[in-house]
Structure 1
Amino acid sequence: MTRTLKNVFRLGRKELWSLARDPMMMILIFYVFTVSIYTAATSQPETMHNAAIAIVDEDNSPLSARISSAFYPPEFTRPKMITQRETDPGMDRGEFTFVLNIPPNFQRDVLASRNPEIQLNIDATRMSQAFTGNSYIQQVVLAEINEFVHRYRSTEALPVDLALRIRFNPTLEQSWFGSIAEVINSVAMLSIILTGAALIREREHGTIEHLLVMPITPGEIMASKICAMGLVVLAATALSLHLVVRGLLQVPIEGSILLFLCGTVLCLFAMTSMGIYMATVARSMPQFGLLLMLTIMPMNMLSGGRTPRESMPELVQDLMQVVPTTHFVELGQAILFRGAGIETVWKPFLALFIIGILLSMLSLQRFRKTISQLA
């Protein structure tokens, strides 16, 4: 047992030195856990953030003032009050994405049930904000009009009062969700890439034959690669959570980071084993890259990190239960967003452990078969 641990330690140290001498892999690790997370969190196309809006108020009534005051940061900039003549030049210069034109006698016509119209001018060259802002502004304007009309015409209180409370993300900041989801996806992607590339690099450089003549077993070779690459991804995940997510993006983390990292260890155990298996199937790095695309993309899209699993067909939900990222997303969101403890997330922990054991056994069997063909 002691000899096995020494062999795994020495081989793992060799893997770390080999990784440190690979500048492209080091750049990839840095990019995935810094720039990629930041861009995924801050460039959400469905998010309204500091959209430039101007208002032409030709009514100057309490209702028009109420509508004007309904647009405020961070979704919009402070509305700029302009005249009708300033609308076209301002939009031509790109100063405004939206210009809301409230016509004269608007409040009077609303109270008289004459169905007046408000004109909304949109700069569609800013496609992401234009598409989202159109429906958002309509909802804001209609909500303000309905509440104003109800209070003006009726003095009776409604029999039901809707109290809306948003938990875990009260301001609905997309960056909070986007950053955590990207961290989870990065762990899954990088763990497969690093272990698979390490094994293929050994084969392409011919050093796998050197390992075969040494007094070590295939299990020790596989364990060293899993431990070394898993340790790198684990350290990068911890630093990314502290420096990028909590530090740069100011995302509040409710739960225990230590508990999340324990779940990350189980996910790394499963995903690195999968990387070893894929590396034994592929014959070269280009083939491994193609196989990686066919594996990573479906896992990221269907594991619940981008879209809730409840919105997917039941068949897809059942099939994704055998994928490690599904349970990693579940425990990651529960711990980091909701502050869940081990009493809540023990099921995904157990599922990850079982899947990891099965994948490691399958990968070891495939790895031994590959080694025997080379010997």
Structure 2
Amino acid sequence: MSLRRLFAIVQKELRQMRRDRITLAMIVGIPVMQLVLFGYAINLNLRGLSTGIADQANTAGSRALVMDMVATGVITPTVSATAPQELMERLRRGEISVGVVVPPDFERRRFEGREAVQVMVDGSDTVVQSAAVQLAQLPLATAPVDNTRPLREGAGQVARGQISVVAFYNPERRSAVNIVPGLIGVILTMTMVLFTGVAIVRERERGNMELLIATPLSRSELMIGKVLPYAAIGLIQTSVILVLGVWLFQVPIRGSLLDVYLAAVLLIFANLTLGLLISTKARSQFQAMQMTFFVFLPSILLSGFMFPFAGMPRVVQWLAEALPLTHFLRLIRGIVLRGASLWELWHDVLALLAFTAVMMTAAIARFRKRLD
């Protein structure tokens, strides 16, 4: 054992590591990214859930009750409705997470000690469902009443138990119902980006790029031809997850199966084009895998798959909107769990189409049929 030779090897590895910018970025970037994401962006204590209010009583007492609910910070009113049916429709389309219904006979119900308020929750996300249950645990929601009427003690308040929470789409609160559809997006993100991320690099490393340069293929034809075979693989993966999810975990598919596959196609092409852009930047397959990890980690943590989207700070939510997985999770959970149609979720459809167009254009612009 020669310390001189050992030191030479150590010095050589450090110099090589310093020249590899991707590895250097991972040494510093991964700890910083995880610290920021887990310490700042991820919050299991949900606040500000988008909420629709249907105050059919419209009395001083009902308005005070709604204000007490809002004061908890759990809900944020974003929609005003006239009937519970409108709130249920908005829940189905994913426009709100919670609906508060105050019936026309609210004052009489409150006086008689019966159920006076109903809170409807999108139970497809069990974390959101648990947060909404806090509203029913309010010790007392104060509300003024007509003092000219002889009321029994406590009749000017909504007592605990008079606020009921009704969970739709997953009343049993089974976590598999929420996780399995999301796994389609996670698996497609991991595999599709990785497969195409090494596609162009592999051609260079194996010496096949010389043959492609000699062909009359255009850049667009080559890039699109690289994408299409993997799209078929992505659809096979989607089918496997759906079959196993229904068979092993009894996950319901309430929407159209065609819409499920169309949503999967949107994510597949978004991830494939992102992988192509990575492959035009990476110099080796190992670098391509490293860059894929930088994409996959924020996607799984910020998209709403593992941690609730509503619990993230506003700035982080804006960043998450740039991730394809965020929009796909809204699509797949809306279609599979709530029975929404693809066109009712058109905002997320347009977001995935725009992402695909931008990534494909950037990949084609960066690719050169040259060896240098």
Are 2:348 and 1:348 equivalent residues in the alignment? Answer: yes
Find the counterpart in structure 2 of residue 235 from structure 1.
236
Are 2:168 and 1:167 equivalent residues in the alignment? Answer: yes
Where in structure 2 are the equivalents of 1:217-296 lying within 5 Å?
217-242=218-243, 244-296=244-296
User: Structure 1: 5+ residue runs without aligned partners?
Assistant: 1-142, 144-155
Give SS of 1:365's match. Answer: helix
Whole-angstrom CA distance in 1 between matches of 2:174 and 2:200: 41
* Deviations, residues 34-81 of structure 1 (Å, cap 9, x unaligned): xxxxxxxxxxxxxxxxxxxxxxxxxxxxxxxxxxxxxxxxxxxxxxxx
Percent identity over the alignment?
A: 30
Amino acid at match of 1:338: R
Q: TM-score, normalised by structure 1?
A: 0.55
* Deviations, residues 171-214 of structure 1 (Å, cap 9, x unaligned): 11112222222221111111101112232221211112111101
Give SS of 1:293's match. Answer: helix
Give SS of 1:190's match. Answer: helix
**CA apart distance, 1:308:** 2.1
Where in structure 2 are the equivalents of 1:1-375 lying within 5 Å?
161-242=162-243, 244-368=244-368, 371-372=369-370, 374=371
* Deviations, residues 1-21 of structure 1 (Å, cap 9, x unaligned): xxxxxxxxxxxxxxxxxxxxx
Give SS of 2:217's match. Answer: coil
Task: Choose 1 or 2 for highest CA Rg.
Answer: 1
CA RMSD of superposed structures (Å):
2.5
Give SS of 1:163's match. Answer: strand
Q: Judging changes above 3 Å, is the alpha-carbon distance between structure 1 residues 321 and 207 closer, same or farther for their aligned structure 2 residues?
A: same
Whole-angstrom CA distance in 2 between matches of 1:314 and 1:294: 22
Amino acid at match of 2:197: G
Give SS of 1:322's match. Answer: coil
* Deviations, residues 278-332 of structure 1 (Å, cap 9, x unaligned): 1121111221121111110111110112222221111111122222111111111
Q: TM-score, normalised by structure 2?
A: 0.55
Q: Judging changes above 3 Å, is the alpha-carbon distance between structure 1 residues 173 and 160 closer, same or farther for their aligned structure 2 residues?
A: closer
4+ residue runs of structure 1 moved beyond 4 angstroms? 156-160
Whole-angstrom CA distance in 2 between matches of 1:216 and 1:159: 71
Whole-angstrom CA distance in 1 between matches of 2:245 and 2:349: 23
Give SS of 1:251's match. Answer: coil
Whole-angstrom CA distance in 2 between matches of 1:158 and 1:259: 44
Q: Judging changes above 3 Å, is the alpha-carbon distance between structure 1 residues 291 and 159 closer, same or farther for their aligned structure 2 residues?
A: closer
Q: Judging changes above 3 Å, is the alpha-carbon distance between structure 1 residues 159 and 328 closer, same or farther for their aligned structure 2 residues?
A: closer
More strand per residue: 2
Whole-angstrom CA distance in 2 between matches of 1:160 and 1:273: 52
More helix per residue: 1
Contact 2:305/2:329 (<8 A) preserved: yes
Contact 1:245/1:251 (<8 A) preserved: yes
User: Structure 2: 5+ residue runs without aligned partners?
Assistant: 1-136, 138-154
Contact 1:181/1:306 (<8 A) preserved: no
Amino acid at match of 2:270: A
Tell me the number of residue pairs that the alignment of Structure 1 and Structure 2 aligns: 220
Whole-angstrom CA distance in 2 between matches of 1:247 and 1:159: 40
Find the counterpart in structure 2 of residue 12 from structure 1.
none
